[in-house]
Structure 1
Amino acid sequence: MPEAELLFSETSHYLKPEDVTQLKNAYLFGQGAHSGQFRKSGEPYISHPLAVAGILSKLHLDVPTLTAALLHDVVEDTDISKAEISERFGESVAELVDGVSKLTKIEFQTQEEAQAENFRKMLLAMARDVRVILIKLADRLHNMRTLEAMHPAKQRSIARETLEIYAPIAHRLGLNNIYQELQELGFRYSYPTRYKVLVKATRAARGNRREVVGKILEAINHKLKESGVEAEVSGREKHLYSIYSKMVDKHLSFSEVLDIYGFRVIVKDIPACYVALGMLHSLYKPIPGKFKDYIAIPKSNGYQSLHSTLLGPFGLPIEIQIRTAEMHRIAENGVASHWLYKATDGDFNDLHLKTSQWLQSLLETLSGSTDSLEFLEHLKIDLFPGDVYVFTPQGKILTLPRGSTAVDFAYAVHSDVGNCCVAVKINGENAPLRTQLKSGDRVEIVTAPYANPNPAWLSYVATGRARSHIRYFLKNIQYDESVKLGERMLNQALLFFNINPDLVTEAQWDKLVRDSGVKSKDELMAEMALGKQLPAVVAKRLTAPLESVSNEQAAGPITILGTEGLTVQFAKCCRPIPGDAIVGLIKKDYGLVIHAHDCSVISSNHKNAENYLDVAWGKDISRTFEACIKVTAINKQGVLARIAAEIARAESNIDDIAMEGDGDYTQMRFILQVNNRQHLAQILRSLRHIKEIAKISRVKG
């Protein structure tokens, strides 16, 4: 095949003759294995592995990678085994083929779950050997180039998966050319009509702006030559997906996106980068806030360059990138630019170390995620490029995604620092942990040895690493609490049926565990606490002839102390506090939710009697609870301050306040921290002494 001859010709420029011979043998072996197989387009199947190897040869990858690319589908699609590949081409090639082979078909409840599990496996393989993902990306790129043969619905599905996962992975590894082509093709098949409209619009704009672009190129070349800076200058049109993203993000029409052209200046060394920047800033005025120095602080994927947006002729914004030839090579080829597997251990450069650290953090996220969909969620968060560069107290730079908080920073330093963080100083000043960080911030985390992650952190952390560690910690804590609560709930249900819990035998438990489809008795207890199994139903299945208990022992309520943790929640609709009559409602995936007896939610759910549990407050409750009060006061200066002072004097805290003016009166709603009904009554009595208060009441529901 002509494609095969082209591959051997291109690789002969950088591979040894014996390596090219191995490639020829792999091609013949693959051609024989795929004999009689055809792609949807009608081409012989071997054309696909050949194209994948051709893409990788442009990155000058090593012979095991190219050999594995030629053979990457033989194990899945033919009778050839991994052992056979190992025997003929070596263990390294066999391992790569095994890592890239289409994944074993597993039955999943949803397509999303199957996709998530595939990515989970793919990234595990990638963490073992990054060459696996390089082959996988080349495989996806060729599939995208030939996507026209697929059904439109399948095209959209594959294209969106490409935009969401594969293109960002290519970007994260610094493979700029592959990244941009995957984006363009993903855009073309995800939104075919929008793509065609933009193609037409850019062609029209290109004709109108060609003369302007030519003048800018000439002016830049002249200025740099005049300053004695040797440079290679090129103009480039922005990619369609980049233009489309800008239109969507900033709600612009195409005519409003002026900077569809960029210019790249390649110079001999780093000092020349800054000299060239100064010269261009004297040629055209820089737009304030549009300069980024990725040479001093490289991106996390190793990318280095100076970026500046200038105001060109006719008010046209133009983007300039200035870099050295070495930086340009890394920008185009990323992790493949200094091939990792040609180097000795001592030759690892910063880029490979950063890639290795990122893959290690992926493995940590994997170990903390019990669920494939959860892992995919973390992965998507971490794939999008980081834009915030912050400093540790020792001056080390950490790169975090936009929107990252002090908690994300703590987990980026170390998982133990994140788990134990209690406060933060940003630029020497105390700040809330939810504070979003800005580039240049100096961040110092304060830890306490007995501190634990707070579930509220999940509402504002921005990195998959932080989210994964918090969830992992909370799941373990919640599991232990759930087991204990589930046991109490089942005992109450058994007593309701006049069954003595102590007389349930191990054999009966083993049978129940098997029939319930869980792994252990503890797991069954946890599922009851989380509402996935009903205690009444489980108790009925255990009511084989067992000895009854006396009526005096039967069906005592579950005691609520407020220290049960995440497995017992207090309903926001009625905000029950000690002293209120209460009832427990088992809610799936939430566990036991405590409501006030007169709550409207309880009356609306009265038909599901088996979901209710008899609960009662314990005697020694040491924590505080939320209570809501409504105050109507005359609209006078200083009233709010007097109300707040009385609440503080009654040893309560205000969690939240909402106010609404109505002429001469103001309606105020306070969420207070109280110990019990007596404490709340004391607060209300104190507030009634304020003469400006016209009406005060507790709000339930």
Structure 2
Amino acid sequence: MGMQTSVFYENMVQEAGQKLLEIASYLKTEDLAQIKLAITYATDAHATQTRKSGEPYITHPIAVATELALWRMDVQSLVAALLHDVLEDTGTTKKQLSAVFGEKIADLVDGLSKLDKLEYEDTQAIQAENFRKMVLAMTKDIRVIIVKLSDRLHNMRTLDIMRPDKRRRIAKETLEIYAPIANRLGLNHVYRELQDLSFQNMYPARYATLAKAVKAARNNRRDVVGKILQSFSQQLVACNIEAKIRGREKNLYSIYCKMRDKKLSFSSVLDIFGFRIIVDSVSACYVAIGALHALYKPIPGKFKDYIAIPKSNGYQSLHTTLFGPFGTPIEVQVRTNSMDAVAEDGIASHWMYKSTDDKVDEATIRTHQWLQSVLDMQAQSESAVEFLEHVKVDLFPNEVYVFTPKGKIMVMPQGATPVDFAYAVHTDVGHQCVGARINHKLVPLRTVLRNGDNVEIITSTKSSPNPSWLSFVVTGRARSSIRSYLKNMKEHDAIALGERLLNQALSALLPESLLLSEDLKHAYLEELANKKLSFNDVLYDVGMGRVLPIFVARQLTELAGKHLGSEVKMSPVLVRGNESGGLQMARCCRPIPGDPIVALLIKDQGLMIHRQDCPNILRFPPENHLDANWDSVGSKRYQATIVVKSQDTRGLLASIASSISNCEANIESVETPSGNQAGTEGFIEFEFKIQIVNLVQLNQIVQAIQSIPQVKSVERR
């Protein structure tokens, strides 16, 4: 039995290899010889390995290469597909592969190989790091992702051997990442099949029910489809238009999404059939659509011209929906042959059709633009997990088309805002964005863009990104740019604060000439014996509260040859009125200039300033407490809360507000916390949140309010 199985599998591998060579016969003789060599090399490398189905493992790489041959990819792609698991699973090195097949193919295979799992702690991090490695390889050579999509397609076709939980996990990843990437690259047939295979493995019962319903509908509507095809053909012939007409059926996943999102029953989804009209020229596309509109009435608002304004992946077609016979809506796409090539094969059409038609190469141009934005996101992402999140966000299937003031078309994802638009123009435009005009009218930055909007961004060199933008931007580029800027600003603030704290700690211990001198910094880093660390890293840790400044000061002073007593204490921290992110005012007690204060060094937050009588400072050990004084205070305003208890009389609120205003303070809000809280009929309590400059101004306000006859008490909360 074992001998028969062995012979059966040998024949299977031989037949699969022969089929690949037959389909790849479009290649040169020397290219086919290299494919034969790769089949032999991969067969030997995977000789002892089998798939979960029991088949020899080599059947998988051959199937992946065969799919690529159907897409008419070049010889290097096919060879890389045959070898794509050799580095990862067989112990073969990249150097060995390069010696036999050349450096280019070795680079392709390396880009497809996963990283060593021992380097990372959790599954999410492994997935993210592998994805980042593949994407970076893809930005150097787009064929990496095309081979990967063929690999994923074959794995999805043979997924039924896996455990149900693993099938669901792989299907979910395919639906979230690989299907949208196929769509981005314009590989439409791959996109649709990956969607349906994912749907089948995630929800097998729903898939089976819907497949059965579509099959029944196909039989029931055969006469209707036949009638439409015949009427289309007669109308186009009558208008002297040469065309190929194809009926097409929506894929199951898109029907399922429509039912789910619009809460429809299957019987309510009438447009499961569509038609594709393929003509010879762009002008014939418009003539054909006019002829069809004369035959069946178009549904208003359903005409879309993707020839004049192509989709971001290079897709071009005219779309319309017609009122067909018996009230059936008919979806129609009209395009040229070259547009059809791009629509079905996207970036792969670059290799498939060596045409002089610029439209075929449209997919290549737009793909490279997308890859550049992916590279920008990679540079700005703090971790692989964050990068994966940004790329997922950026894989939007739905788009809006807007115009710059100069009339240039910009393709944006659905839900995009002026801030997304600003970052799409340039990172600096995004950073300096302060306002926007849509169709010449000023609008809030969170306004959602619509098709045809004319968008103008107002910038200022003094502006910087606002953290609140992260709550409404939708593009990965905008999100990663904002996060990167805020992270760098936080780092800059923390380093500056760390240097300030360390200088204050050292000022009583070392002469000024030695304070953080380059020689002292160098000596300290040598003492730490960490070659990857810079002194800015030390200052950052001090500024973020991870290391106490007095601890670093002691080590530096010892290195400088001084001896410290046990009572060394750093000089007080001087708090200015214009502090940035490295130093924060506590919200619990809201200190204002003039209050006695203490500074707490809190890990990963930096310095937090509290009033000296704030009970929360007792939660931190004494070594985290630093003396602090107010330095020169500018015009910055601070929030303070005052509670006023008074007799409830007409015009009282106006009198209190006038007293606050006369002291040049701003009222932020006013509330009556619990109605008649003063405890006696005819009394009322107000809580005012006010913006003031310092304690002197607050005292003036308290005195002014107390001078109102009806007021019984004024307290700062």
Decide: shared fold, TM above 0.5: yes
User: Which moved further from structure 2: 355-364 or 524-533?
Assistant: 524-533
Deviations 1:238-266 (A, max 9, x none): 22222233344344454554433333222
- CA distance in 1 between counterparts of 2:406 and 2:365 reads 20
- CA distance in 2 between counterparts of 1:260 and 1:634 reads 73
- CA distance in 2 between counterparts of 1:546 and 1:144 reads 69
8 A Cα contact 1:585 1:594, kept in partner: yes
Is 1:120 matched with 2:132? Answer: yes
Is 1:577 matched with 2:592? Answer: yes
8 A Cα contact 2:557 2:563, kept in partner: no
Which residue is 2:607 aligned to? 592
- CA distance in 2 between counterparts of 1:655 and 1:133 reads 55
Residue 465 of structure 1 is aligned with which of 462, 477, 488? 477
Q: CA deviation at 1:554?
A: 2.7
SS in 1 for 2:119: coil
8 A Cα contact 2:593 2:633, kept in partner: no
Q: CA deviation at 1:595?
A: 4.6
Is 1:3 matched with 2:21? Answer: no
Residue 618 of structure 1 is aligned with which of 613, 631, 634? 631
8 A Cα contact 1:86 1:94, kept in partner: yes
Which residue is 2:10 aligned to? none
8 A Cα contact 1:40 1:149, kept in partner: yes
Deviations 1:197-217 (A, max 9, x none): 433444454455445444444
Matching residue's letter, 2:638: F
Calculate percent identity across the aligned residue pairs: 52
User: Which moved further from structure 2: 309-318 or 391-400?
Assistant: 309-318
Q: CA deviation at 1:337?
A: 0.7
- CA distance in 2 between counterparts of 1:126 and 1:71 reads 17
Deviations 1:527-578 (A, max 9, x none): 3433445668778988989744696x73544222243322223445554433
Matching residue's letter, 1:181: E
- CA distance in 2 between counterparts of 1:236 and 1:351 reads 23
8 A Cα contact 2:550 2:570, kept in partner: no
TM-score (norm 1): 0.85
- CA distance in 2 between counterparts of 1:210 and 1:637 reads 81
Mapping of residues 202-601 of structure 1, within 5 Å: 202-339=214-351, 349-385=361-397, 387-489=399-501, 509-510=524-525, 513=528, 519-533=533-547, 547-548=563-564, 554-572=569-587, 575-595=590-610
8 A Cα contact 1:75 1:101, kept in partner: yes
In structure 2, relative to structure 1, the CA distance for the partners of 1:596 and 1:642 (3 Å cut) is same
Q: CA deviation at 1:298?
A: 0.3
TM-score (norm 2): 0.83
SS in 1 for 2:35: helix
Deviations 1:14-58 (A, max 9, x none): 222222222222212222222222112211111111111111112
Structure 1 unaligned runs (5+)? Answer: none
SS in 1 for 2:619: coil
- CA distance in 2 between counterparts of 1:212 and 1:624 reads 73
- CA distance in 1 between counterparts of 2:198 and 2:563 reads 67
Q: In angstroms, what is the RMSD of aligned CA positions?
A: 4.3
- CA distance in 2 between counterparts of 1:359 and 1:645 reads 60
User: Which moved further from structure 2: 71-80 or 574-583?
Assistant: 574-583
8 A Cα contact 1:73 1:102, kept in partner: no
8 A Cα contact 1:295 1:305, kept in partner: yes
Which residue is 1:675 aligned to? 693
Matching residue's letter, 1:240: L
Matching residue's letter, 2:20: L
- CA distance in 2 between counterparts of 1:670 and 1:211 reads 75
Is 1:162 matched with 2:180? Answer: no
Q: CA deviation at 1:93?
A: 2.1
SS in 2 for 1:519: coil
Structure 2 unaligned runs (5+)? Answer: 1-13, 677-681
Q: CA deviation at 1:652?
A: 5.5
8 A Cα contact 1:503 1:546, kept in partner: no
User: Which moved further from structure 2: 449-458 or 94-103?
Assistant: 449-458
SS in 2 for 1:337: helix
Deviations 1:462-521 (A, max 9, x none): 2222222233333333222212323445677899xx987979976984477459x97234
Deviations 1:652-690 (A, max 9, x none): 667789999999999998765432344456667888999
Which residue is 2:101 aligned to? 89
8 A Cα contact 1:411 1:466, kept in partner: yes
In structure 2, relative to structure 1, the CA distance for the partners of 1:160 and 1:67 (3 Å cut) is same
Matching residue's letter, 1:674: I
Which residue is 1:73 aligned to? 85
SS in 1 for 2:17: helix
8 A Cα contact 1:579 1:676, kept in partner: yes
SS in 1 for 2:537: helix
- CA distance in 2 between counterparts of 1:636 and 1:231 reads 85
- CA distance in 1 between counterparts of 2:304 and 2:653 reads 48
User: Which moved further from structure 2: 95-104 or 206-215?
Assistant: 206-215
Q: How many residues align?
A: 692
- CA distance in 1 between counterparts of 2:696 and 2:263 reads 55
Q: CA deviation at 1:60?
A: 0.9
- CA distance in 2 between counterparts of 1:483 and 1:198 reads 60
Mapping of residues 602-641 of structure 1, within 5 Å: 602=616, 606=619, 613-627=626-640
Q: CA deviation at 1:695?
A: 11
- CA distance in 2 between counterparts of 1:635 and 1:396 reads 63
- CA distance in 1 between counterparts of 2:484 and 2:546 reads 20
In structure 2, relative to structure 1, the CA distance for the partners of 1:299 and 1:661 (3 Å cut) is farther
- CA distance in 2 between counterparts of 1:337 and 1:561 reads 62
- CA distance in 2 between counterparts of 1:440 and 1:239 reads 30
In structure 2, relative to structure 1, the CA distance for the partners of 1:586 and 1:187 (3 Å cut) is farther
In structure 2, relative to structure 1, the CA distance for the partners of 1:455 and 1:680 (3 Å cut) is farther
Matching residue's letter, 2:574: T
8 A Cα contact 2:186 2:363, kept in partner: no
- CA distance in 2 between counterparts of 1:297 and 1:633 reads 67
- CA distance in 1 between counterparts of 2:632 and 2:47 reads 79
- CA distance in 2 between counterparts of 1:277 and 1:555 reads 81
8 A Cα contact 1:499 1:547, kept in partner: no
Matching residue's letter, 1:592: L
Q: CA deviation at 1:331?
A: 0.5
- CA distance in 2 between counterparts of 1:695 and 1:445 reads 53
8 A Cα contact 2:668 2:689, kept in partner: yes
8 A Cα contact 1:390 1:399, kept in partner: yes
